[in-house]
Amino acid sequence: MRVVSLVPSLTEAVAETAPGLLVGATAWCSHPPDLDAARIGGTKNPDLTEIVRLRPDLVLANEEENRAPDLDALRAAGLEVLLTEVRTLPQALTELERVLTGCGLTRPRWLDEAEAAWAELRPGPVRTAVVPVWRRPWMVLGRDTFAGDLLARLGVRNRHADHAERYPRIPADDPTASDCDLVVLPDEPYAFSAADGPEAFPALPAALVSGRHLTWYGPSLAEAPRVLGEALARAGAGPEHPPTTA
């Protein structure tokens, strides 16, 4: 089977399970680092001509990551597109199994390990956080996001979870931040770091977290509770006892 993936999470999921299936992936598909597949542009601007030329049996896509007109064009060219929707952890686990089944694969061990790792999680007291995902302009996690669901399971309440938008813009001096216990700063999509981000929230402890473990749904989910839990603990939040399941 020949598979093209337009989603970094799904690229990693297929590559971890059966790397020989992938014939194309986006420039943003950074895991695994040694992936041997043609690069077909970005998630928002894929090279449709190159994808068709690769003659895939299946194109993997996501309703948030990829643009509907691009997917319509691929379908019009006669390609099968498997479209995923992921807003919560249970949805991610279900969609991953659907994707792997669509690729002709059986349920892999890493998916069982991911499910077990989150089932064993015992979060500590709830903390409230503002969670920026971009700067210039400032954008934060809003309602109905996969990353927000993971944080909630780790004992972190997203301050903007009830916002009308999923990724709202906020002013740098957003007054609602005064209601928060910390700021959570992932290193993607914007590369927040100790030198870029925490200074904008001087009154809050900053948790610098792995964006891949917070926003990707794939093999990284198996270690995400531990990796994220340790980062949150360093900022005085998160699970009381981060799980050790790898």
Condensed to tens digits (0 to 9), the pLDDT of residues 157-212 reads 999 999 999 999 998 777 777 889 999 999 999 999 999 999 999 999 999 999 99
Q: Is 129 helix (H, G, I), strand (E, B) or coil?
A: strand
**Cis ω for the linkage preceding 32 (within 30 of 0):** yes
CATH number belonging to the domain at 3-107, selected among 3.40.50.1980, 3.40.50.880, 3.40.50.1000, 3.30.70.1710? 3.40.50.1980
User: What is the rounded distance in angstroms from the CA atom of residue 131 to the CA atom of residue 189?
Assistant: 12
Positive or negative CA dihedral for 42, 47, 51, 53?
A: negative
Q: Does this chain's domain 3-107 share its CATH topology with 122-234?
A: yes
- CATH code for the part of the protein at 122-234: 3.40.50.1980
Output the pTM of the full model.
0.92
Q: What is the pLDDT of residues 88-114, one digit of tens each?
A: 999 999 999 999 999 999 999 999 999
Q: What is the pLDDT of residues 79-90, one digit of tens each?
A: 999 999 999 999
The proportion of the chain whose per-residue pLDDT surpasses 90, expressed as a percent, equals 89
Q: What is the pLDDT of residues 50-80, one digit of tens each?
A: 999 999 999 999 999 999 999 999 999 999 9
Q: Is 180 helix (H, G, I), strand (E, B) or coil?
A: coil
Length of the chain equals 246
- Find all residues with CB under 8 Å of 104, minimum gap 6, and list them: 1
- Find all residues with CB under 8 Å of 36, minimum gap 6, and list them: 19
8 A C-beta contact, residue 81 and residue 99: no
Burial group, residue 8, by CB count within 10 angstroms (0-12, 13-18, 19+): buried
Would you place residue 131 in the very low, low, confident or very high pLDDT band (cuts 50, 70, 90)? very high
Give the residue extent of every domain in the chain. 3-107, 122-234
Q: How far is CA 190 from CA 31, 46, 107, 210, in A?
A: 18, 21, 33, 11
